[in-house]
Structure 1
Amino acid sequence: MSDLKVEGFKSSEILAALSEVFQGYSEAEKKTQIKKTNGIFELRVKNAAGEEGVWTIDMKNTGTITKGPASPKPNVTILFSDDTFTSLAQGKLDGQKAFLTGKLKTKGNMMLATKLDSLLKLAKGKAKL
């Protein structure tokens, strides 16, 4: 799904890879992942130029990733830089450490935000990030 990719955002490449992983799931695998995660994430990512990109990971209803604000309302909105997101996805940065050092901010269900880490690990395992 190249419509997820945005020029100047390394994170968009990662989200496109994660989307491909989700699309490769069987219905049973997708239902299991949705049941395990049960939430809608809105990711607000700022790149080096100060531009903001917004993506939604719906792991409550559809098991898909879309570009743009969440609809329906997200369970959690996560705000971070492109570099922080990339480091999280590559396993170079721990989500809790990023939060505690102010590199990652959340609005909404903070406990759900911790599940983003496991979704990113899925992408890292199946798509070489």
Structure 2
Amino acid sequence: MAETATVVAVFKDMEGKFKADKAAGIDATFQFDITGDGGGQWNAKIENGEATFSEGAAEAPTVTITALDEDWVNIVNGQLNPQMAFMTGKIKVKGDIGLATKLGTLFL
């Protein structure tokens, strides 16, 4: 099972890897609902080519991604293919699925 620090570290890493050049024209909020012992809620707001990460729920997310802590860590670390995780139900997406597909381009 993933530890809380591991999930927190993954989100800090994602924030550091944000590719502003890939975010042109994107004004959106990603909500991440991570379940399991190391889970919690995080959100990333992209606006004007900048990304701001916060712990907690977003008021009006454009897309919500739900995953088990262990699966999310594996996706971000490249050990689990996000498309396969989606197709097998390991991650669930609510809202703008097209935007969810850009997650790797923006943050990974």
For these two proteins, the number of residue pairs brought into alignment is: 105
Tell me by how many angstroms 1:102 deviates. 0.4
Q: Does the 8 Å CA contact 2:63/2:100 hold for their aligned counterparts?
A: yes
Instruction: With a CA cutoff of 8 Å and minimum separation of 6, indicate the structure with the bigger relative contact order.
Output: 2
Gaps of 5+ in 2: none
Structure 1 ranges of 4+ moved more than 3 A: none
Give RMSD over aligned pairs: 2.2
In structure 2, which of residues 12, 15, 19 is the aligned counterpart of residue 19 of structure 1?
15
Question: Separation in 1 of the partners of 2:25 and 2:103?
Answer: 12
Question: Separation in 2 of the partners of 1:100 and 1:58?
Answer: 26
1:46 aligns with 2:42: no
Q: Which has the larger radius of gyration?
A: 1
Tell me by how many angstroms 1:57 deviates. 0.9
TM-score, structure 1 as length reference: 0.69
Question: Separation in 1 of the partners of 2:17 and 2:82?
Answer: 21
Which AA in structure 2 matches 1:81? L
Higher helix proportion, which one? 1
1:34 aligns with 2:23: yes
Question: Separation in 2 of the partners of 1:120 and 1:89?
Answer: 9
1:64 aligns with 2:73: no
Higher strand proportion, which one? 2
Q: Does the 8 Å CA contact 2:22/2:105 hold for their aligned counterparts?
A: no
Share of identical aligned residues, percent? 30
Tell me by how many angstroms 1:92 deviates. 1.1
